[in-house]
Structure formats: C-alpha cells, structure tokens
Chain A
Amino acid sequence: MRAFLAIYKRELTAYFHSPVAYVVLVCFLAISGYFFYAGVSFYSLASLQVMQNPMMMELNLQTHLIAQMVSSAAVILLFGTPLLTMRLLAEEKKSGTIELLLSYPLGDASVVMGKFFAAWTVSAILVAATWLQLALLAPMTEMPWRTIMVSYGGLLLLCGAMVSFSLWTSSLTESQLVAAFLGFLALLLLWAVGWAAPLVQPSLGELLKGLSLGSHFQNFPKGLVDTTDLAYFVLFMGLFLFLSIRTLEAKRWKA
C-alpha cells in the first residue's frame, strides 16, 4: 500500500512538474470551450426561434446543450488520454528506471495501479475543469443537476477505461509515440465500432454495440444509469489493468 501511494504521488507530481499536464489541460479547455461557445450560441438562436414558433421543436437544456458538451468532452478525451498515459511505462522501460523500480520490494500490481490512478486523477481534473462552463451557465437558467451528475459520472468511468487501455499500450512498447498512437487508434475504433451495428447482421450488431465504448457511454448524458454500462466499464478497466500487470511480468521473464 505504501509503495502504491509512493508511486501514485510520484506520478501525479511528475505530471505537474512536466509540461504534459498543462499542455493537455490547455488544449482540452480551449477545444471544449469552443464547443461550449458554439453550443450556447446555437442554443440561444434556437430558443429565440422557439419563442416565436413554439410548435417548431421541444427545446431542452440537458439534451440540446449539456449532453452535447459532455459528448464532445468525451471525444476530446479520446485524443487526450493516450497523450497523458504514453509516458507511464514506455519511458521507464526506455530509460531503464524500470530495472531499479522492480528491484524494490513492491509488486508489479502496485506499480501499475499507482500509475493508473495518477493518470485517472489527472483526467478527472480535466473533466472537472469543464465545470467552469457550467458555472457560467448556472446563473442564467435552472440547471438539471441530477442529470449533470450522472453525465459526469459516466465521463469519469469513460476516462478510467481509456486510461487503463492506453496504460496497457504504454506497457507494450518502449516508444511513447507508438504507445500514444496505438492507444488513440484503438480507442477511436472501440468508440465508434457500435456505429456499424445497424449495417450488419443483428447478432453481430449486438456484439459490436456490446464492445463499443461509445454505445455504453451514450446513456449517461441522458441521465440514465444502466447496470450493463457500469459493469462494462468496470470490467473494461479490470481487464486492461490485468493485462498491463501481466505485460510487465512477462517483460521480466523475457528480458
């Protein structure tokens, strides 16, 4: 436990001692800020039109603004998390520090878990930073807080899943670039694989939806918590953490 905490603390400090966390944070806020601005502009234009013609559409703050904000944050994080995690194991292997780390009396699991939680914490900070946008919105209207909490809970789970996955890609290689690229491509595929469901046989379609990060995420911005989705994310994280630990162990045996 002490070793886990030591690694968690070190990794977290390392994020904020190097430019990585700041660069990702700034880029993330700039892009999500743009989406927020575009969303709010569209929403105010639409509400003006709805005021004149109430029969046109039913306008709802959650569906037409917040859900979109959350979904766009999810897509930006798809790009961002591999950048956050690429360093975690690949750099240790490249610089040889892993040799020293593994000579300490700590388990491979503490190493992987310490790094995972550190990266998850940083991604949670990114997600939390978007509350600035909610804070701008709050004085102007009545906020659907409960749905918002569910959406953000889903976002955190998604982050955990993406961090665990790209941590695993970082354990596969010594090159940070390869780790990030592999993580990003595979996450993009996992995110979008559900979209193909209507185009293939129904049984295959169900499988694709079952595998897809995107399909399991889509209920959260609607304020719906489905235990299937919860189980999916928890198992997803568990699987890739397990694989990361195993990859690290295998490196010991092969090295």
Chain B
Amino acid sequence: MIEVRDLTKRFGATVAVDRLNFTLDQGEILGFLGPNGAGKTTTMRILTGFFPPTSGQAFINGRDVVEEPMPARRAVGYLPESVPLYVDMRVEEYLRFVGEAKGLAPAEAKREAGRCMAAVGVDQRARQLIKQLSKGYRQRVGLAQALMGDPPVLILDEPTIGLDPGQIVEIRSLIRGFAGSKTVVLSSHILPEVAATCSKVVIINQGRLVAEGPPELLRTGRGGGNSLKVRASGPAEGLTGLLEEVPGVESVACSLEEAPGGGCWFTVETGVDDQVASRVAKAVVEAGHALSELSPVTASLEDVFMQLTTSETSGGEEAA
C-alpha cells in the first residue's frame, strides 16, 4: 500500500531524510515516531506530493508519487500538523469545497461532506464558521477534510497535538476505528499514543530509520520484556534473592539509595508476562515485608532512543 525506497531529501546542506525504507500493508496503522526535527513531516510531505524527494522513491498504491502524482494523491487524505483550514468558511461549505477540489461532482461532494461530518462528530457545527471553532473541533474538521472522497490511505501529522485529554482519546479511538479498512500513517512524538493506536511502528532519528517493528518495540526498546519498579522495606539482599525467585523475573537490581519513607528501590526486569507483577506483590507480602510501591516502568521515548541509537552504533547486538 505504501512503500518508501531509499528516500532522501536534502535542503541545501542539511539532510532531512536519509535513505529511509519502509513498507506498509493495507489496513495497517503505522506510528511514525521521532523527536522534533527527525524528518517525519518531510517524509509525509513527500508522500503527499507537496515536494519531491532528492533521491529515492515513494509509492502509494503502487503509484510513484513523483511520476504519477494524480493517482497517488487521489488515494491520499492528508492532515498537516498545523491544520491549515480556510477559517472564513463554514464547516460544511469548506468540506464541500474540498470534495469538489478533489474532483467530486457537487452533489457527491455534498453527500460526502455529510458523511465525513458525521464520522468525526462535527455535524452539529455544520453551519459554524471554522474560525469560531475550538482547537479540538478544528482538528476534527481537518480529519473530515482528509476523509473526503474516501481515500484508502490517510496521512496524519501529529493529529492529537494541542488537544485536551478528552479530545485526544476521541481522536485516537476515531483513528483506531480505521484499522483494517484504511492504511494510516500517523506521526507522533508521544509514546503511549502510538502504543495505544498503531499496529506497526517506525522510529526515525536525524532522518534515518532507527527501528521498525510492532508497538511492543516501544515498551523497552528491545522488542519485548517489561520492567517493574518495586519499593519494599526489609533487608536489601534478602529481598533481592526473594524477587529473583519469582517465576518470570529475569533480573533484579537494587538501588543502594534509601527510598524516602524507608525501604529500598528495586528494578525488576521481567519477560512479556502480564502476571509477573501480581506474583511479585504476593511474594513480597507473603514473606512478611511491607510493599509500599509497585509500578510498571514505561520507557520514555528519549530512553528508547538512547537505547536504540546507541545499540545501533555499538554493533547492533541488542537491536537484533
């Protein structure tokens, strides 16, 4: 559905995207991750035909975005990061314009506008001027605009940026609803968002592919395994030994610093087993120690990056 081959984009001396490769099948939702300035937006702009790559190729539905721009663009709905809408237009009027600009007949555009407004929940605001809408509603109108003409591919650049938590949840569940029917590329630098929404993850840094794989990749940065943070009071050595014997625990590290309020911190590396946490809790409590904290450690994107980028450069042992 989407294929990117050796894609490179240079702006003068800066290399924004550097020999990027990935593919995406029909119905998959791709989380496109990277810190600010990693080249996510540049890649998306190439995919939507806003500018051509310096070298390499990008295909949408098997159509080269440079050689056959019209069929490729017809297959794509795009939502840029800044959500640039014509703020002096009314919602429905705007969507009908988009439909006609995408080549629909006026009657068809009207029908599509109704369908897309209902799909994103802005049908109550059809007659309102876009400039009077809140950020969340503008985002929805932007999404509706991308859905006009029912394109099989959606390219969404940071679709939840600047929204309040409630709106973020709504937009995410909307996007999850596309799974199976539409191919979605979703860029983000928010880790849990991608873990919650996507079926595949591509991480880039400084324009280069750092990792590609299932969303579990993000939990630890190594494609599986979790870690727990445990605070318990008792002798550090005895507790370490106790924790190591819990089935599913791979390693235990004890922090020598005393935790505020007594007890010690332990970092427990576990497999992908979800039941480990409860077994750890049970073991600590049954041995007569006080368990004051037990929480899963989710690696921050920065940590994942640190791990992935350093392991890449140090011979790729861990990335394998």
Interface on A for B, CB 8 Å cutoff?
2-3, 5-7, 9-10, 13-14, 17-18, 95-106, 252-255
The distance from the CB of B215 to the nearest CB of chain A, in whole angstroms, is: 27
Q: Flag the segment in B93-101, B251-259, B295-303 that touches A.
A: B93-101
Q: Is the CB of B105 within 8 A of A6?
A: no
CB < 8 Å neighbour of A14 from B49, B70, B88, B98:
B88
CB < 8 Å neighbour of A100 from B88, B104, B145:
B145
Within 8 A of A (CB), among B35-59: 45, 48-52
In the complex, what residue of chain A is closest to B73 when comparing beta carbons? A105
In the complex, what residue of chain A is closest to B69 when comparing beta carbons? A105
Known: A2-B103, A105-B102. A18 touches B88 (CB 8 A): yes
Interchain residue pairs A-B with the least CB separation, the first 3: A6-B100, A96-B84, A103-B48
B176 interface hit (Cβ, 8 Å)? no
In the complex, what residue of chain B is closest to A95 when comparing beta carbons? B84
In the complex, what residue of chain B is closest to A106 when comparing beta carbons? B101
Q: Is the CB of A97 within 8 A of B85?
A: yes
B239 interface hit (Cβ, 8 Å)? no
Cβ proximity bits B97-134 to A, threshold 8 Å, 1 near / 0 not: 11011111100000000000000000000000000000
Cβ proximity bits B142-162 to A, threshold 8 Å, 1 near / 0 not: 000100000000000000000
Identify 20 residue pairs between A and B in the complex whose beta-carbon atoms are under 8 Å apart, listed by A's number. A2-B104, A7-B101, A9-B97, A10-B89, A13-B89, A13-B93, A17-B89, A96-B80, A96-B82, A97-B86, A99-B50, A100-B85, A101-B101, A103-B48, A103-B73, A103-B76, A106-B101, A106-B103, A252-B51, A254-B51
CB < 8 Å neighbour of B97 from A6, A99, A252:
A6
Most buried by B among A13, A17, A97, A100: A100
Q: How far is the CA of A11 from the CA of B103 in the complex (A)?
A: 17
Across-interface contacts of B48 in A (CB, < 8 A) = 103
Across-interface contacts of A104 in B (CB, < 8 A) = 73, 98, 101-102
The distance from the CB of B106 to the nearest CB of chain A, in whole angstroms, is: 8
The distance from the CB of A99 to the nearest CB of chain B, in whole angstroms, is: 5
